[in-house]
Chain A
């Protein structure tokens, strides 16, 4: 029978299948961080269980870490306890940890690929919804809760039910200045934040194949914002090239064997999908979000919606509520939205290519005098690479602050946050109420659009800044 890539990975990881459809799935790779793991380790201790495969588990502190000078440690006591707890748990249970002072430390979804821990055809989980990122390598990767983290630590398996197959085809080529961030925002705008609920999404089409590995990660990363737990892309030469020689990638004979297996990871030509949509890349424009849900998207040349045009009462209320929170008026032009802050970073857009894209726009330019802007590289290695390329100087000369790696203002668990009513152009993934700080207002954009907004002082069209 013809099967999809998701079917193949699923079938290849089935440890047990109950008659009611509940399955026990083997987990090849488990990433953990300080926020969603302490209660899981506590659970193991309480029931006298150990970590079944410490060498299939990798830990890093990212959500709580300061992005400013780290030599004095973490000043917030609760954050410090959480990071220290991760360290002691990893020591006790024999799990490898990239501590705060390790050059390899960074956002969990950036370090996995960087180290070659993320591999095609694997099942990868993490107590974090943006685990979908790793699907860019042709793995089945999804976020889990803390009870499930404990389950994976104890058994190296997960209790799951099979999801539906949903294919999103993107064909054509992207206009100048339009990026994979705009593609995924457009997709979420089309399907809605619950559009992928109960599904695993496969991204396909010639546009997807033309994207770099890092651009693919941006798309898979935000799959969860469209409601699907996992999004994946069939692995190809670009993926194999990226992984070759990475510290945790297979070596020698194992590399050859792995490559043979990875080469067969693709959906059969006549496999059927429960759901399928098509997008034309040529028609995608630079996007922004105007509201408090990632589905609230408009193009940069568009206008903020007017609730009076909405017939459905619930939707109308929801638009009104979002406009009020965001401090926007109906029908105002996107480019009239004045911003206070810019954040470049996160597991969505904190990789080297993202920093290059923003730096290209910022070179020899100054950011607007009323804008406060920070760049938070996704990992210590991204930071090092950027510094070697002189990107840090471009950012600093333009008026940005150059920070240490971590999740930072994507979720504002550390000191980096918005004040009430402050407005931010952000390369992160969620514009929920309060996400970047209580009362803070978030507009999701691509790194180039964030750079353009920093220069203009309001949301602006990145295409104006292309040479």
Chain B
């Protein structure tokens, strides 16, 4: 119900929304929780395990009970805290974890079975039969337990991530945070002030008190305006700082459009990474419960929340209210309620010596609430008086205060452990727990507003001063300075279930059971009972639970210790953390200049590293990829084919010492290469294994171009950088990637020269341009490069032009090749062509093979030093029994030899112990009319001509084959030359 004359929200602005299919109304600035409370709704959710009816407990992000799903379908947001969800016109929210309805939940039978479902239940019950876990138990448990569910569909781009920077990050916009931001900013520091609620003020928004002679919440509004007007202050509301990380980095989640009826193009949330030179934590404190029987009935809530709803929203959950606490702060709730005209039936303070600070309300010092009555809503409480007599009161709401816990969470994110304060009966942060971060106000256990203001001002100025700024403390206004007093009461003794963790349904009995079963460590207790493991991370239950554990194990709280708080402070959707990286956002796409033309020709694309390359170019009448691939191979072998090879790494090297440098990075010699010539080379890693291969062209005396495989381009540049900086700092050599600068196309086949000559300003012949020649040439009037190199084994060239002309040249080459009976070819044909020729790719030099293994041992120069030389000479890498590169041909020509298949002797059982090697590359060779493969086979070079058996256990394929030389086609290489 709404109390006339109370609240700080605009009652002129009425808003309608729906909850569980029913229409409701609230006012602008209401939260879903306050609006429902105003309409008399107390039951807002069902608990995780027992499906007990639950209502709102708090008014902040720590809320464990009132979790709802907002929106529908793709846009559905599960586990939204009703206390944080601002209402808007058309908001649609649904309760969770109930069936068929919130009011009548069949799974509520779990509650009746509760005696069997206590701590450790899963571990003891579902052990046998073993097979039942996956098939029966787990699905059933998962269905019965749990909170909200996601839609199961891809989310789309609905989140953002972003970076921000500041001198001083102030976390929390309450009285301490406001003063910290002001004093740091006045000193000149660049300040970010993050506040997880939708406005500044913190508790001041919920309290009835004065600052500087005026209303405290209005003072906060004034401060907000004042800070917003400062150029060096950035206020980020609806932004929860979720984690403290190394070197002043903080994670923060901004709720950008959760509160908007029409979010437009706004993201739902933005995950910020904030780099701050200093931080001031003013995160305030969270109130904790007291455990007593049925303390979870809807209508029982935190005392501070109860008066917060009254003061800010003008709402109360019922006409007759009681307040139960163990500390002085609970009295404020009774006072505010009574002053607002609510019937305060009783103020119960467990401290025998407590004084009534609430004014004219029935006061019961030394008494305890032993039980909550009602089921779907509180309708009464049972009180035990100091003399042992019990008394019943009819109430619809009970505010409970078990004391306040400073929000130390962020101070623990870098392994800081909080310290138990016996006076406050709470953990307070340890100084210096996070480098560069100070803690001020209630987060440090300074609970009065006056202390908060003063500490905040000090901490803000100190943070700025530490960065070299200077300034004076701002004037700190007068404020409430009452002293907080608390007496120890964590759990009320008695029968029945007294709840600690509302979200994971953990009771006092569960914790005691854990202790009895020797799970005495707080970490073990947590895992055994699941206390503190739900989305609220035990914000309101941790201290109670470990106090109960301490009692049960006869220890003190400091001795018992506390579990570790880890990021995030509040739940963060993975969608927000990974914003922008879903789908194709996972990695940039690298497109060649021929991409558009290639796709226009209908080529399916495949990924090579980040590049997209054509698989094949289908033509009319071709039904499968093999039809196209076979035709493209024949085209190259018989006419001419064109293929975009721009994706290969191209590294320009210049300087007098390039030759010497290349001699050092390559296994073979390059310094002897003459200008105008190209040489093939292999590069080893330091450990002697092959790293990459490719050709290097010497364009002039001092200018070279080294090529790498597509996937290894980045790795090779990094390697060259490392070698130069680490081993050759005095060599005169400089290099840079030119991969992006040049569009390069292979032109291969018997008619390659005819096609190339068509485009060259000055035609070539075999004499001026023999195999392995290179030169700068005018191509269609453009300065380009021409290389006579071949991956296909045919007479072939690579033609390079500046990338701006790439699309144009590809179109020209492909069209002319088609006119000559050839055309463009894709990766499939390229692969077949090179397998026929026994040319290696990274399928063979996959990181575990040596030059010896691939039959290139003689390329390792004995006349010079080079990277990898020493370790490649290890005896173990040169044994004949190693797996060596061979060719394979299927005995039945069309039978497959799948890559990944393993090799066995014909009479050996195909098991691991008998494994002789494996296939790395495979194809059907239209040229040879049979299936061909490259493989590594033990002692393979000595076994050419042998018959062996290929077994592919995955695809259930057995193929008999013959071992051959890797080079299956034109072994003399005559076709390359003229």
Task: Indicate, yes or no, whether A interacts with B.
Answer: no
